[in-house]
Amino acid sequence: MTHGLFDVDGKVALVTGGTSGIGQMIARGLVEAGARVYVSSRKADACAAAEAETGAVGIPADLSSEDECVRLASEIGAREDRLHLLVNNAGATWGAPLEEFPAHAWDKVLDLNLKAPFFLTRAFLPLLEAAASVDDPGRVINIGSIDGLRVPEAPNYSYSASKAAVHQLTRVLARDLGPRRITVNAIAPGPFPSRMMRATLEEAGEEIAESAPLGRLGQPSDVVGATLFLAAAAGSYVTGAIIPVDGGIWTTR
């Protein structure tokens, strides 16, 4: 009964922002588990590097634009007749004091963090539905953040607001797409070594690790494990869930 519960061998997946950080961790983990994986990034050289490092196929796209979301779906649709898993991971952050926080920081962050997951999910619906069945639904995984579950310590107003909205969007889409045999869930990571977190971890990494009940930062296997659960048979009856992967920081502080 337990055989194949976490098997994604042969499935087709797209990981946006899959050329660095948590996205690259997920992309590499899916490739190692036997999936055929596409990744996207704004930069063609980043896509090429990710292909060499992870074995995924890179397609450059600026997903802050709806047109680019649609184009990415068309490009993958020209290569594949179905998509089993869409991981909406591409994101941006911005930190500045309240009095100095600029309007364009809201536009930049919400365009990529919130609007892109919506436009991508809509654009990929035909391919997700083509992959879906009653027992093995199509899967959408949105990458949120524990900063969308708690009040963050840093002044990242647009980032934390966008991630809270991603969690709510996840629930709404789970309701709407369930009848179409597609699950929609979110992973809310805590602190992981990544380009986005580099400056923060250089300044206070040890303190941040000690703040977690488990006493460490996240590592690739942590987020890959959560992804495999949601993408495979083990997660086929889970939808609308927001899963913190943070060593217990959010639930205990």
* Cβ neighbour number for residue 74 with a 10 Å cutoff: 10
DSSP string for 113-162: IIIHHHHHHHHTHHHHHHH--SSS-EEEEEE--GGGTS--SS--HHHHHH
CA distances from 139 to 59, 103, 184 (A): 20, 34, 6
Burial class of residue 221 (count of CB atoms within 10 Å of its CB; 0-12, 13-18, 19+): exposed
CB distance 58 to 32 below 8 Å: no
Burial class of residue 44 (count of CB atoms within 10 Å of its CB; 0-12, 13-18, 19+): exposed
Catalytic site residue from 38, 157, 159, 237: 159
CA distances from 123 to 28, 74, 194 (A): 24, 8, 28
Q: Is residue 157 annotated as part of the catalytic site, yes or no?
A: no
**Tokens (6 digits) for 244:** 């913190």
Known catalytic residues? 159
